[in-house]
Copies of this chain bind each other. A is one copy, B any other.
Amino acid sequence: MTLALSGATRLYVIVGDPIAQVKSPGGVSAAFVARGNDAILVPVQVSVADLPAFLDVADRLKNLDGIVVTVPHKFTCFRRCASTTERARFIGAVNIMKRRPDGGWYGDMVDGVGFLSAVRAKGFEPVGKRALLVGAGGAGSAIARALIASGARELALHDADAARRDALIARLDTIGAGRVSVGSPDPGGFDFVANATPAGMQADDPLPIDIAKLQATTFVACVITIPAVTPLIGAARRRGCPTSTGTDMYQASEGSMLDFLLPSSPVSA
């Protein structure tokens, strides 16, 4: 990327711990410049213990306009926002924060829309479709909400933790009444299957679904970025299924982050 960096360059940081694995500083900084903004996104490695003091200072840094938030800070940062989008409140987490005119932070959570953008870019449109989602944690909640908000006809939710699954279903009912149900590892009959659990990060993890029942017409998505191709994605591809990986999701999220962070984009109270 080509950058005219100076003291006048507006500052954005991405906070996480660890931080070396994140890719967004390069892409978002280049996009800032491409869109005519003298701004940069740089990585800052902040521990959980140090995050409150970091945010206290961030509140008062005069040239800091935005914060991108990654693991493990998304829930704590949500609580520091003066205002957020509805979808961030649904999850109780943010992955981007933008300075409000009064100095406080306006937060959003674009993991869900990033996931859907990646899926759509691979040719799958969820409107009117039947989806099975495995995993009702933070990523699963964001994806579930995005699927319902984008018009999926049915969303079956599976999670080994039945209480967590039912709690998410109850919350999803507030926006998608009647379309959300209890699912199982059986992907048979679904147009779309997504894994939002860590199953696949370790080589000997069991697959999150019953792969023998996966049809070749089903679109299969996964949130895991390492490995780039999880056993689930690999098995789905061998059956001929169209797929979208965690890396696809995070790359698509960058566009949503940028739209939110740009100085010209609106800030809501």
Contact = CB atoms under 8 A, between A and B. Distances in A.
Interface in A1-20: 1-9, 11, 14, 16-17, 19-20
Nearest to A46: B61
Nearest to A62: B45
Contacts of A64: 44
A5 B17 contact: no
A47 interface: yes
Interface stretch (A49-57, A113-121, A153-161): A49-57
A113 to B, nearest CB: 22
Contacts of A1: 2-5
Nearest to A56: B53
Contacts of A24: 7
Nearest to A44: B61
Interface in A33-53: 40-47, 50, 53
B50 A63 contact: no
Contacts of A29: 5
B44 A63 contact: yes
A137 interface: no
A62 B43 contact: no
A7 B43 contact: yes
Given A5-B26, A53-B53, A11 B63 contact: no
Contacts of A25: 5-7, 9
A23 interface: yes
A264 interface: no
Q: Across chains A and B, which 7 residue pairs bring their CB atoms closest together, nearest first?
A: A7-B22, A45-B62, A8-B20, A45-B63, A5-B26, A7-B43, A5-B25
Interface of A: 1-9, 11, 14, 16-17, 19-26, 29, 40-47, 50, 53-54, 56-57, 60-64
